[in-house]
Copies of this chain bind each other. A is one copy, B any other.
Amino acid sequence: MDLYPAKRVEIIIESVMEGHLTEALVDAGVTGFTIVPVSGGSGRSGQWSGQGQVSRAGGMVMFVCLLRPDRLQTLLDSVFPVLDRHIGVLSVTDTYVLRAERF
């Protein structure tokens, strides 16, 4: 059970952009990611909460993407145009994965 170095990219972005970001990732060949729901938060534009919300306008989602270190730049290049004008944050963390051939 060896562990291999990888990158964990976490992107928190507006719900309305979920489809765009998915497309951008898949187009860039980044086909492994997981989407986690988000229930609230706070940023420069103040606090928000998803409670009782019907519109998708206010909400956010979190993408978690594990990938080989050498693919990081491809991911960043494809994500940046989507993230650029929109509300959201991105972080990149060093991590280790099992079964490196999957990433």
Chain A residues packing against B (C-beta within 8 Å)? 1, 3, 6, 8, 10, 12, 22, 25-26, 31-44, 47, 60-62, 64, 66, 76-77, 80, 83, 89-99, 102
Contacts and interface: CB of A to CB of B under 8 A. Distances in A.
A103 to B, nearest CB: 8
A87 B98 CA distance: 13
Q: How often does this chain occur in the complex, in copies?
A: 3
A40 B32 CA distance: 11
* Contact residues of A: prevailing secondary structure: strand
A12 to B, nearest CB: 5
A60 to B, nearest CB: 7
Nearest to A83: B98
Contacts of A66: 89, 91
B40 A35 contact: yes
A62 B36 contact: yes
30 contacts: A1-B76, A3-B92, A6-B91, A8-B10, A8-B93, A12-B34, A22-B42, A26-B42, A31-B44, A32-B43, A33-B42, A34-B38, A34-B62, A35-B38, A36-B36, A36-B62, A37-B37, A39-B61, A44-B102, A66-B89, A66-B91, A89-B97, A89-B99, A90-B97, A90-B98, A91-B95, A92-B95, A93-B93, A93-B95, A94-B94
